[in-house]
Structure 1
Amino acid sequence: MKKTSFLSLLLFCVNCAGSSGSNQTASPGALSESDESFFAPRTYCRWIDDMRGAVGSALVGLGYDAGYSDDVPAHFVTKPKDGIGLRVEMVNLVGRTRMLAKSSPDGNAAVVAAFYRRLESDMGLTPCTEEQFEEQKKAESARRQKKPEPVDPVMAALGSKIVNSTPGKSPEDFTNEHMLKSFELMTNDKGLFIARFIARWGSVEHVSLFVGDGKVFREIPTRYESSDIPPSSEPKEGAKNKGVQLANVFNDPRFVFNQEDTLDDSSHDKVDAALRYVRPGKYSVRCGSQIVDFNVLPSDKALPMLQGATYQRSPLDWKPYALGRDEHGTYYYVDAGRWEDNERVFRVFLGKKGNVKPVELKNIVHDSEGDIFTTRQGDLRLTIGKQKGSWLKKGVKQKVLLVPIEDNLSMIYNELGAYEGARLGTPCDDF
């Protein structure tokens, strides 16, 4: 599926029926800088300040992983009531609307209707008023007239190198408005290095993490990042950050959430694996109960190493799709590709816990009604939305209980056997 730019991920403009009676949607990513129709949709809101303030750049990563595409419109709002809850809802909602779009004869019209209903009722959000629309129109015009900031040639060159050698990144990621702003390179003094890059997406900052041996770096899949981590400086003072442990949380499903540890004093997002800011020049990496210190290298030593390195995408090529078991304790596990070049590829594993093995697939049926994975051993039939499954072998049907993926990530990666010995491309691989 076609991936979109950062702007397209956040800026889906939908025409209101009130002005022309049309159900047409604006096409994100295809708007002229001088085209006044850019402002035609009355649902275009003050997305920069409001979305950044409520969610931060975390929405970008989650939205990208969810696979936003140009045919999924969104309805932007002015006051998201809860940043963490919103981004989770957005990801879930996009997944459902994508399925609806495929199964609906009315195409986008049905998707738009579903999107409106969900945003305005379940999430308690309100659309833009005409006054807010006019305010944003003026602000956007002023932004366009503002001269772009000069690009640091060293940062631009380093950013271009990272982009050009990392599959999945766009050349615009670290250039023009989306420029590389700063970097830090740290080491545990045992040959393991972590590079932390901060890129500016217009007025929003986004953090990327890479881990490696100093010559080859692989991107670390991040769950979200705290934009308050200042590179090589003390955390900000004030009540806002009281008790806050500034961190970049990365995705390592081998480590379950620590119920006594959070990124801040709220109840959201229990930390499992993270890069933590300790003080200027020092970070620590937490993998479950293990904590390892990392020291930041001086920039005159870090820059030549980063410029001479090769950058690669994360080796985490697969993501869990379905997990089931029968009454005899046999597990049926399916994973799917997590990249654009393998997102339609599935694998099936069968066996007892600790000894599941991949089986050869002969055919796959994958649609809105469910999945059928035909193997030499039998047929695995799944209806994930209804939590139903069955295993058909030589005419004998065996009921399969579907088990929630999100509650069993640690078991899948540590005990099931499908990923035994696999490196997931995080610092925890080497601890």
Structure 2
Amino acid sequence: MPTLLIALLAAATSAAPSQKVKVAIVPLTAGEGVSEKTAASITEVATSEVRRIPSIQLITQQEVGTLLGFDRQRALLGCQEDTCIAEVGGALGVEHLLFGTLSKLGESWLVTFKLMEVKRAKMLAQADRRIRNGTVDDVLDAMAPMIKELFGNPELAPPAPRPARTDGKPALPSESGPVAPAWAEEPYDFAGKRPELQVATDGKGRYFAFVPYSSEGQALFVGDGKRLFEQRIVGASAQGGSFDYSFWEPRAPARWQAGFGVKDGTPQLQCGKTAAPLKLLGKSEAKKLLDKAQLYKPRWRRHAHALARDDEGNYYFVDRAREPEGNKDFRLFIGTKGKMRAVKVEDAIVDEAGEIFFTSLGRLKMKRGAQTEAEFVVGALRTSLVWLAVDRNAAFAYGELGAYAGEVLGTACDGIF
């Protein structure tokens, strides 16, 4: 392993808290009869109790808000699916999430806390209280025993320290730092009357709402029928009563292998070399589904920006927010294939000569010219990297590389590629 990488990993090890379990606590949901202000106050008391536990490294609700932003935080906390929960933990770089609800029905306070392991989407513990004829003070008094009940689970014991290597080469970092999520669920704004959409289904719980090709525009939304996400159409063609849309799907080996269209009156989805027929819903059935569905803008909000590798198989992958144009919202992932770890980009320089991404561990330099060069620099130590063209390695970057492991892009080919 190059000397530079040894220094990089040593810095990562020294910067991280020693053998603590990372837990994010998110604000209690204010249920019936409870204000958000009261729920936030109770959350603060619970936070104080968790902070007393020496084996826990706590990310508070304020830090959650700082990392995710208010709008994304609301979307994250409202999700219930296992994949969504995994993305919350991935966004925050934690192993566990603590969340719950606070309500008041009649003369009873109802308090629930749930502790979930993010990676397996497994509920580790739950604590419930019904406090009859109680006051807020009684709820506050219940926090200490409830937190103790939650964190008595043996699965929360801090991990055993990794044995030191005898060859002087430390292992790659075992955990990611907190980074902003790569997705968002933003309702679609039609800026007027919604166009008349037709709907098709694969009969397996997936629905495709679309506007047939016309000179006035094209549209395609895909989802479970309750939530439908817009697809980024990158190409379209029509002949007679048939048409084809090609949509953004970076995991497809070729652009034509990710498409949706109607041929001879039959809708079809192409994810790979073969197109699968879909069933077109009748107008009344389609209207019924669309009246209850929420349409969203494209779910995935980032794109692969740069990819490099050293001679020992360690990859350096950078992605970037799609909007606004010219933004400096970058994320850096470092590691071996399938074991990529996020490192926060603190600043970036982007100009005609190339790019420099600054992190607490060092800086990644990308020089552009007749021959593109890349290197990772820690002080005076430099490791030369091989530049890999992102457009030719998109399927690898979004899949096998592992930077986005467990994440859902929100495309029509999710679950196929």
Please report the TM-score for the alignment, with normalisation by the length of structure 2: 0.51
The one of 206, 209, 216 equivalent to 1:195 is: 209
Is residue 328 of structure 1 aligned with residue 312 of structure 2? yes
Deviation by residue 1:248-276 (Cα, 9 ceiling, x = unmatched): 1111111202xxxxxxxxxxxx5121113
CA RMSD, 1 decimal: 2.6
1:408 partner SS: helix
The one of 184, 191, 199 equivalent to 2:198 is: 184
Higher helix share: 1
Is residue 302 of structure 1 aligned with residue 255 of structure 2? no
Counterpart of 1:211 in structure 2 is 222
2:285 partner SS: helix
The one of 240, 245, 263 equivalent to 1:278 is: 263
Kindly indicate whether the alpha-carbon contact (under 8 Å) linking 2:230 and 2:296 is maintained by their aligned counterparts in 1: yes
2:384 partner SS: strand
Cα 1:274–1:199, aligned 2, differ >3 Å: closer, same or farther? closer
Cα 1:307–1:342, aligned 2, differ >3 Å: closer, same or farther? farther
Deviation by residue 1:356-403 (Cα, 9 ceiling, x = unmatched): 211122322223332211112211011245512111124211112211
Deviation of 1:308 (Å): 2.8
Q: Which structure has the larger Rg over C-alpha atoms?
A: 2
Deviation of 1:166 (Å): 5.7
Taking the aligned partners of 1:170 and 1:385, their CA distance within structure 2 comes to 43
What amino acid is aligned across from residue 257 of structure 2 in structure 1?
A: D
The one of 241, 253, 258 equivalent to 1:256 is: 253
Kindly indicate whether the alpha-carbon contact (under 8 Å) linking 1:226 and 1:248 is maintained by their aligned counterparts in 2: yes
Taking the aligned partners of 1:323 and 1:229, their CA distance within structure 2 comes to 43
Counterpart of 1:370 in structure 2 is 354
Please report the TM-score for the alignment, with normalisation by the length of structure 1: 0.49
Kindly indicate whether the alpha-carbon contact (under 8 Å) linking 1:166 and 1:312 is maintained by their aligned counterparts in 2: yes
Kindly indicate whether the alpha-carbon contact (under 8 Å) linking 1:229 and 1:277 is maintained by their aligned counterparts in 2: no
The structure whose RCO (Cα within 8 Å, separation 6+) is larger is: 2
Cα 1:228–1:343, aligned 2, differ >3 Å: closer, same or farther? farther
Kindly indicate whether the alpha-carbon contact (under 8 Å) linking 1:322 and 1:384 is maintained by their aligned counterparts in 2: no
Kindly indicate whether the alpha-carbon contact (under 8 Å) linking 1:205 and 1:227 is maintained by their aligned counterparts in 2: no
Kindly indicate whether the alpha-carbon contact (under 8 Å) linking 1:198 and 1:205 is maintained by their aligned counterparts in 2: no
Counterpart of 2:125 in structure 1 is none
Is residue 414 of structure 1 aligned with residue 399 of structure 2? yes
Taking the aligned partners of 1:317 and 1:310, their CA distance within structure 2 comes to 18
How many corresponding residue pairs?
231
Structure 1 residues 336-415: aligned runs within 5 Å = 336-340=320-324, 343-386=327-370, 387-415=372-400
Cα 1:365–1:341, aligned 2, differ >3 Å: closer, same or farther? closer
Higher strand share: 2
Taking the aligned partners of 1:224 and 1:369, their CA distance within structure 2 comes to 32
Taking the aligned partners of 2:240 and 2:380, their CA distance within structure 1 comes to 59
Cα 1:335–1:350, aligned 2, differ >3 Å: closer, same or farther? same
1:415 partner SS: coil
Kindly indicate whether the alpha-carbon contact (under 8 Å) linking 2:352 and 2:368 is maintained by their aligned counterparts in 1: no
Structure 1 gaps, min length 5? 1-164, 236-245, 258-269
What amino acid is aligned across from residue 253 of structure 1 in structure 2?
A: P
Counterpart of 2:409 in structure 1 is 424
Taking the aligned partners of 1:309 and 1:168, their CA distance within structure 2 comes to 11
Taking the aligned partners of 2:295 and 2:391, their CA distance within structure 1 comes to 30
Taking the aligned partners of 1:381 and 1:167, their CA distance within structure 2 comes to 37
Deviation of 1:349 (Å): 0.8
Moved >4 Å (runs of 4+) = 165-170
Deviation of 1:406 (Å): 1.1
Deviation by residue 1:326-361 (Cα, 9 ceiling, x = unmatched): 222221111100133994310011111222211122
